Amino acid sequence: MQKIIEGIASLPAALKEIGIRKLFFVTDSSYPFLCIKETIEALDVSEKVMFSDFTPNPLFEQVRVGIDLFRSSGCEAILAVGGGSAIDVAKCIKLAVIAEEGEKALIPPLVLQRLPVDGSGIPFIAIPTTAGTGSESTHNAVMYYEGAKQTVTNDALLPDYAVLEPSVLQTLPIYQKKCTMMDALCQGIESWWSVNSTEESKGYSRKAVELIIRNWKSYIFDNDPDAARQIMIAANYGGRAINLAQTTAAHAMSYKITSMYKLPHGHAVAVCLPEIWEYMLAHLEKCVDPRGDRYLSEVFDEISTSMGEASPEGAIMAFREMMEAMDLRNPVTESGKRSDELDILSRSVNPIRLKNNPVSLDSEVLLSLYSSILH
Ligand SMILES: NC(=O)c1ccc[n+]([C@@H]2O[C@H](COP(=O)([O-])OP(=O)(O)OC[C@H]3O[C@@H](n4cnc5c(N)ncnc54)[C@H](O)[C@@H]3O)[C@@H](O)[C@H]2O)c1
């Protein structure tokens, strides 16, 4: 069972509880600028081996360097401080180190199996420095293998401790703040309508959506510290929700948009979501959730209510207005390339990921959705 703690001041106590002296410290290039750096530097450990040789949207080759470093370091626990990329790199390192199969556990074909591994031998503390992915509370990690996005899923990847310290968001550039917050909002919405949702996951989804809707303006436009705290909590709820229910079509359709147009993850997901939402609302007869189309219609109503809107149409409009207010624009195709790009995009979507979507989307629909997304 994961412990979720608020405040960096609780980190030394968490380390003491683990009783570990040699720490493998995974962090990204923002570390020197973080306001929690001093607390981390002052931790009472005998040795801290740092690994930060990776990029956002990390590559398997970069993770391998980290695996070798961990093995030669003799470290006993992992501390990950950073955005989703840093936390995911740390998770991949942990899995490769504990799995008998080593780094092969991270790539096809073994990555498709949830290998039975025991993660308790390497305690793991995660401190997110973005409020978006919720990776600190999921059992997933994302990296790129041979040019394609690879999700690694294993129960052993869920960090033992998630430490939420919202003051770290002070240094997050405004565009990153917007993108990561929209990732969290989309996680809240998608997990809510996912075919895998449960009463527990829907409770987390609701909290994520409500907290973001109440606080996003003060967080983005006024840099308000209390709003930042609420958004960080919301993102954590979003992570907990997708940990149970997974994401749906907006995430599945976003990955190629990120690689083709270099849009950060949250921005790419958020340009897809309203188009999919609108399509699903108009095609409830194509509902594949065994709970039925009436159930799905109620879920759409609940989502709109949580966004303070009277109808799903109003909620979609409110979502689009949010994007506009933050100047988060849709990707634009170069003239003459549009039809090739649409073709690549619609063939890129992983059908396994689409299975979580409550309304079926065939290749023709995907093509038409991408056509509305691309300006
Ligand atoms: N594991 C999961 O459950 C899960 C869920 C959703 C997304 N993801 C993955 O997470 C990654 C995206 O993570 P992200 O959106 O958090 O961004 P990120 O980790 O890629 O970081 C983006 C940039 O922001 C900088 N940064 C981070 N925190 C900062 C801070 N406080 N101050 C200044 N700069 C800071 C980083 O150095 C980096 O340059 C993607 O690979 C995505 O696929 C994982």
Pocket test for ligand 1, best of 265, 328, 356 (most atoms within 8 A of CB): 265
| Ligand 1 atom at minimal distance to the Cα of residue 57 | 41
Q: What is the pLDDT of residue 198?
A: 98
Instruction: Tell me how far the alpha carbon of residue 61 lies from the centroid of ligand 1, in angstroms.
Output: 18
Instruction: Tell me how far the alpha carbon of residue 287 lies from the centroid of ligand 1, in angstroms.
Output: 33
Q: Which residues of the chain have pLDDT under 50?
A: none
| CA-nearest residue, atom 27 of ligand 1 | 83
Judgement on whether residues 259 and 137 belong to the same structural domain of the protein: no
Judgement on whether residues 309 and 292 belong to the same structural domain of the protein: yes
| CA-nearest residue, atom 5 of ligand 1 | 133
Q: What is the pLDDT of residue 336?
A: 81
Domain boundary among 118, 139, 168: 168
Instruction: Tell me how far the alpha carbon of residue 83 lies from the centroid of ligand 1, in angstroms.
Output: 3
**In contact, 264 and 85? CB cutoff 8 Å:** no
How many domains would you assign to the chain?
2
Domain boundary among 168, 199, 230: 168
Tokens found for residue 274: 């309203």
Judgement on whether residues 91 and 132 belong to the same structural domain of the protein: yes
| CA-nearest residue, atom 29 of ligand 1 | 172
Judgement on whether residues 268 and 284 belong to the same structural domain of the protein: yes
Q: What is the pLDDT of residue 259?
A: 86
Beta carbon of 241 within 6 Å of any ligand 1 atom: no
Chain center to CA of 150: 13
CATH of the domain at 258: 1.20.1090.10
Domain boundary among 168, 195, 214: 168
Judgement on whether residues 220 and 85 belong to the same structural domain of the protein: no
Quote the crossing angle between the two packed helices 312-325 and 265-282, to the nearest 10°: 160
Judgement on whether residues 114 and 55 belong to the same structural domain of the protein: yes
Instruction: Tell me how far the alpha carbon of residue 125 lies from the centroid of ligand 1, in angstroms.
Output: 16
Judgement on whether residues 196 and 324 belong to the same structural domain of the protein: yes
Tell me the whole-structure pTM to 2 decimals.
Answer: 0.96
Judgement on whether residues 157 and 184 belong to the same structural domain of the protein: no
Q: What is the pLDDT of residue 375?
A: 86
Q: What is the pLDDT of residue 192?
A: 98
**In contact, 193 and 299? CB cutoff 8 Å:** yes
Beta carbon of 162 within 6 Å of any ligand 1 atom: no
**In contact, 125 and 11? CB cutoff 8 Å:** yes
pLDDT digits (tens, 9 = 90+) for 95-129: 999 999 999 999 999 998 889 999 999 999 999 99
| Ligand 1 atom at minimal distance to the Cα of residue 151 | 1
Q: What is the pLDDT of residue 136?
A: 98
Q: Domain range for residue 22?
A: 3-168
Beta carbon of 128 within 6 Å of any ligand 1 atom: no
Task: Count how many residues are written for the chain.
Answer: 375
Pocket test for ligand 1, best of 31, 37, 129 (most atoms within 8 A of CB): 129
| CA-nearest residue, atom 9 of ligand 1 | 84
Judgement on whether residues 109 and 189 belong to the same structural domain of the protein: no
Beta carbon of 358 within 6 Å of any ligand 1 atom: no
Beta carbon of 142 within 6 Å of any ligand 1 atom: yes
Judgement on whether residues 7 and 52 belong to the same structural domain of the protein: yes
Beta carbon of 27 within 6 Å of any ligand 1 atom: no
pLDDT digits (tens, 9 = 90+) for 79-102: 999 999 999 999 999 999 999 999
| CA-nearest residue, atom 21 of ligand 1 | 83
Beta carbon of 197 within 6 Å of any ligand 1 atom: no
Instruction: Tell me how far the alpha carbon of residue 290 lies from the centroid of ligand 1, in angstroms.
Output: 34
Instruction: Tell me how far the alpha carbon of residue 176 lies from the centroid of ligand 1, in angstroms.
Output: 8
CATH of the domain at 120: 3.40.50.1970
Pocket test for ligand 1, best of 29, 33, 94, 133 (most atoms within 8 A of CB): 133
Judgement on whether residues 196 and 303 belong to the same structural domain of the protein: yes
Judgement on whether residues 158 and 194 belong to the same structural domain of the protein: no
